[in-house]
Amino acid sequence: MKTQVIIEQETRKIIATSFSLGKKHDYALFKESKIPILKNTKLIVDSGYQGIQKIHNNVLIPTKKTKKNHLNKTQKNIID
């Protein structure tokens, strides 16, 4: 089962949930859920949502640390 949860960062309240049976790409589940997002809302998503910039301009996909490439202070604090 695939689960998507949308949380408001300041209050940490759950705004919406979406579910899907079986394997499904995160972005595909987001598109199918048709959850209305205001244009000025900043979305912070993981790399599974690549392509979301096509439908929403205010998106942040944080850089992930790898074994060979560690994150610098700016990359670590980008969500704050």
Tokens for 32?
């199918």
24 pLDDT tier (thresholds 50, 70, 90): confident
Structural domain harbouring 71: 2-76
Residue 13 pLDDT > 90, yes or no? yes
The predicted-structure confidence for 46-57, as pLDDT tens digits, reads as follows 888 888 888 888
Cα–Cα dist 27/47, whole Å: 9
Please tell me the total count of domains within the chain.
Answer: 1
